[in-house]
Structure 1
Amino acid sequence: MENPFEIINQRLGRIECLFENINSIISNKNINTAYPELIDVKALADYLKVSTSFIYKMTSSNQIPHSKKGKKIYFDKEKVTNWALESSVMTQEEMQDVANKYSLKRN
């Protein structure tokens, strides 16, 4: 019959190993997410479901956030997503709420 303290000690050792593995995975994930996810024109066109010529037109008129390195154009996916969401149109309900708040402030 095994000593119950040895069994507990073995299990604690396995738990420590699992925690170390989890900690290393989390550390690696934090390192990888420190850099922005860069995508090219084709990937951005696919992501936004528009043509590449539309993307080039937007970059030439500086209407979309981008970076240039030589002849290559890169986009930070998070910045482009935020840019796309900035341009959202209010629903009828949202416009009504704004109008109601405005009229309450005036009175």
Structure 2
Amino acid sequence: MSNPFEPINARLNNLEALTLEVLQLLRSANQTDTDEIGGIELARQVTRLSAARIYTLVSERKLPHKKRGNRLTFRRSELLTWLDEGNRAEQKGGFEL
């Protein structure tokens, strides 16, 4: 006599394998995005600032960057950290008049 739970067990094993595959893809996608290195276009995309403003922040050494010769490079993870550090503290107790 065959096990009536065998089809259910096979489906659960298939779901587990698919879930593990999706998790692995998500983890690799996140690592690729945060480790991305690029030029001014990457900095503009991440910060949503104009090229002129980015160059100003670079010249003031306020924006994380690397420079080799005349070439500026930016790391996505460093730009995201820079943006997170710019959060203002929340005001407690509402507005003051």
Q: TM-score range by the shorter chain?
A: 0.5 to 0.7
Query: Which residue does 2:74 correspond to in 1?
Result: 75
Query: Which residue does 1:26 correspond to in 2?
Result: 23
What's the TM-score once normalised by structure 2's chain length? 0.63
Q: Which has the larger radius of gyration?
A: 1
Larger RCO: 1 or 2 (CA < 8 Å, sep 6+): 2
Task: Name the structure with the higher helix share.
Answer: 1
1:5 aligns with 2:3: yes
Unaligned runs of 5+ in 1: 97-107
Give the paired residue count: 91
Aligned residue runs from structure 1 range 60-99, under 5 A: 60-68=59-67, 72-90=71-89, 93=91
Go from structure 1 to structure 2 and tell me whether the alpha carbon gap of 1:20 and 1:51 turns closer, same or farther (over 3 Å shift): same
RMSD over equivalenced CA pairs, Å: 3.0
Unaligned runs of 5+ in 2: none
What is the Cα deviation at residue 19 of structure 1? Answer: 0.4
Q: What's the % identity of the aligned pairs?
A: 14
What's the TM-score once normalised by structure 1's chain length? 0.59
Deviation track 1:43-99 (CA, whole Å, cap 9, x = no partner) reads 4324433210221222234221123466543323332232233234456x45x9xxx
